[in-house]
Chains A and B, each alone.
Chain A
Amino acid sequence: MTDSNMHAAGTTMTRATRYGIASLALYFLLYFFEDSVLEFTSRGGWYFIAPVVIAFVFSYFHGAFTSYFWDTLGIKAKK
């Protein structure tokens, strides 16, 4: 049982790291291409799709990261 708990903890940590790196990469891209991204997403009209897609992509990677992050710290829901 102890082994399986340690294994689960290890898996959570690995996933947190993987999604954390992906999330960090996305924010770096946003920082480095700030002006271009802002200009592209604020064109209006059919370009409305750009902020929506960006929001979905960020929420997928960063959402998974934050979930695993609290799991790694042992902060979990009451069963």
Chain B
Amino acid sequence: MAQTSAHEMVGATEAPVTLARDRHKTQIAISDPTGPVARALTAAAAPHRVFLNLENITSRGVPSTYGVYINLPDDGKPEDHRHLYAGLLPSFGVAEASRRDEHSPGSGLNHALDITEIVEWLKAHNQWDPKRLSVTFVPRGKNPGEVPVQVGRASLHYKVGHRPPA
């Protein structure tokens, strides 16, 4: 039976990030895929998707909302770069998932953002660095950063296979 989809982790942050009042930028060093994803990518017109996984998101309370941007310039205003917006860092349920009790081990939440279109846009505009990706967390709302939130790891995954229907 032929494999219809394959996925591979190609890079991740080296340290957890703590988000507070200011926006925070972190880097992911990207390795070339070496497993079946590499072979599938070389095949003609293999559809592939790129995911940013945000892992072990923890907080002691209900954190502020943060927008997640890919390769946002250091001096760039987020509202001027909506095409680089990947999605929101989840805040709902983070406090509960961070608490150790009889229902939860306290490891926090994991969340995946599909950044395929952003990566395609960056490639189309010659702004894609195959060795490095930056992830910027931009606080939103009235009182950002009152309750800090930690992201244990951000990792980049390639998935080769069929796109789900829109």
A-B complex is real: no
Residues of B whose CB lies within 8 Å of any CB of A are none
Q: What is A's interface to B at a CB cutoff of 8 Å?
A: none
